[in-house]
């Protein structure tokens, strides 16, 4: 990626270069394409309205990833709270037994990758997403999250270990 | 001796530099256990990329249109700007505002009377005329001023031309200048 001051970079260049990675990070955190679109949109709006220019395209990328990651995790947390509240409510009302066909359909539509990622703690999930989907190296991940490269190495490894366990349980 | 699992993970990510990466590469040729671990990492990567992602090109076009909408172009940045202040400074500012607020409220609730004014003039016949302006709320001061001036031939009270005046009880001024009822 070219290192060029973002004041010289047009919004269009930033948008063209970074949209895909920002959207992918948002999608892998929220697990929903429409919500990921909203998160990416809001992140670029924040960049658009930012008064100070970022030093270069890389810093702009790290900044955008931080913004979209925070917004996406906040959304996920809210969603989880709503789900818990719904589950509590569901326990109080009679539930009709699902037919065999319904159960099969639900299993088929179940997204294994999304479910597995959702079971990872946030700090492990984010490093794995940045490694596997954003194609970032340990230094870049560390710079984005404000942690050391050594810490990134440990987190990536732990995320893999945990994910292996989850997959053994699910499959 | 097998390398630590964390090192294997870093090797798989291409994060190890020359002497270490060479040693691990050689080790993997003779150690099935470590090779299996590397394979496990590969399988995880394949699993994570196994589901299809939504088409980015379509989303990109939609989002671009909303970002380039006029309301975003002309939106004021000032209102969106955030300012961070140290907590002690914020506390001092809050206390200051509360004190100023109370003082202001007190001044509004209890109107401050304008000070009394005395204008001295002499007419053609040589008589001295005193014009005393005093607020209605502050009769005490008016009485005191009158007492200080000594005796008068004539006293004229002119009430404010604006505003409503209610008669309530016995006016303090009349009580003050009236004869002593108890002595009657």
Domain boundary residue among A95, A116, A135?
Answer: A95
Q: Residue A25's Cα: distance from chain center in Å? A: 4
Q: Which residues of chain A have pLDDT under 50?
A: 1-4, 104-110
Q: What's the pLDDT at A139?
A: 96
Asked if residue A130 and residue A47 are part of one domain, the reply reads: no
In this complex, do A24 and B53 lie within 8 Å of one another by their Cβ atoms? Answer: yes
Domain boundary residue among A71, A95, A119?
Answer: A95
Asked if residue A107 and residue A89 are part of one domain, the reply reads: no
Query: Among A148-152, A155-159, B69-73, B144-148, where is mean pLDDT lowest?
Result: B69-73
Q: What is the pLDDT of residues A123-151, one digit of tens each?
A: 999 999 999 999 999 999 999 999 999 99
Query: Is the predicted ipTM greater than 0.85, yes or no?
Result: no
Which positions in chain A have a beta carbon within 8 angstroms of at least one beta carbon in chain B? 15, 19-20, 23-24, 27, 33, 36-37, 40-41, 44-45, 48-49, 51, 111-114, 116-117, 128, 131-133, 137-138, 153-154, 156-157, 160-161, 163-164, 167
Asked if residue A105 and residue A89 are part of one domain, the reply reads: no
Long-range contact set of residues B25-30: C-beta below 8 Å, sequence gap at least 24? B27/B2, B27/B3
DSSP 8-state class, residue A94: -
Q: Which residue of A has its CA nearest to B8?
A: A157
Q: Based on the number of CB atoms within 10 Å of its own CB, is A160 exposed (0-12), middle (13-18) or buried (19 or more)?
A: buried
What SS3 state is found at B60? helix
- Helices A138-145 and A122-132: crossing angle in degrees, nearest 10, is 140
What SS3 state is found at B81? coil
Residue keyed to tokens 């009679």: A94
**Residues B41 and B12: beta-carbon distance below 8 Å:** yes
Asked if residue A67 and residue A151 are part of one domain, the reply reads: no
Range of the domain at A20: 1-95
Asked if residue A123 and residue A157 are part of one domain, the reply reads: yes
Asked if residue A115 and residue A60 are part of one domain, the reply reads: no
In three-state form (DSSP H/G/I as H, E/B as E, the rest C), the secondary structure along B89-128 is HHHHHHHHHHHHHHHHHHHHHCCCCCCCEEEEEECCCCCE
Q: How far is B134 from chain A (nearest CA, A)?
A: 58
Long-range contact set of residues B105-108: C-beta below 8 Å, sequence gap at least 24? none
């Amino acid at each position: 990626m070219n290192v060029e001051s973002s004041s010289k970079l047009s919004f269009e260049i930033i948008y063209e270069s970074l949209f895909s990675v920002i959207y992918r990070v948002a999608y892998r955190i929220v697990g929903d394409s429409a919500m990921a679109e909203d998160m990416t949109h809001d992140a670029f709006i924040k960049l658009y309205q930012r008064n100070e220019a970022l030093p270069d395209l890389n810093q702009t990328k790290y900044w955008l990833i931080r913004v979209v990651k925070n917004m996406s995790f906040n959304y996920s947390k809210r969603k989880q709270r709503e789900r818990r509240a719904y589950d509590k409510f569901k326990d109080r009302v009679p539930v009709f037994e699902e037919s065999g066909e319904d159960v099969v359909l639900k299993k088929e539509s179940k997204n294994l990758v999304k479910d597995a990622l959702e079971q990872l703690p946030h700090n492990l999930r984010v490093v794995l997403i940045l490694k596997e989907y954003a194609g970032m190296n340990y230094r870049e991940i560390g710079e984005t999250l404000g942690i050391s490269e050594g810490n990134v190495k440990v987190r990536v490894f732990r995320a893999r270990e945990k994910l292996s366990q989850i997959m053994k349980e699910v499959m | 001796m097998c390398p630590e699992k964390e090192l294997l993970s870093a090797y798989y990510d291409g994060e190890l530099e020359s002497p270490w990466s060479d040693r691990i590469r050689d080790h993997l040729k003779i150690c099935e256990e470590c090779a299996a671990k590397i394979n496990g990492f590969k399988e995880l990567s394949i699993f994570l990329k196994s589901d299809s992602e939504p088409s980015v090109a379509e989303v990109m076009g939609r989002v671009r249109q909303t970002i380039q909408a006029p309301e975003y172009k002309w939106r004021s940045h000032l209102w969106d700007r955030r300012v961070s202040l140290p907590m002690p400074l914020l506390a001092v500012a809050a206390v200051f505002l509360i004190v100023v607020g109370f003082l202001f409220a007190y001044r509004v609730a209890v109107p401050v009377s304008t000070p009394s004014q005395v204008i001295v003039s002499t007419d053609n016949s040589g008589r001295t005329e005193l014009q005393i302006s005093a607020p209605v709320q502050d009769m005490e001061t008016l009485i005191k001023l009158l007492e200080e001036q000594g005796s008068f031939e004539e006293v004229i009270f002119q009430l404010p031309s604006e505003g409503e005046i209610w008669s309530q009880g016995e006016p303090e001024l009349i009580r003050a200048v009236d004869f002593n009822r108890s002595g009657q």
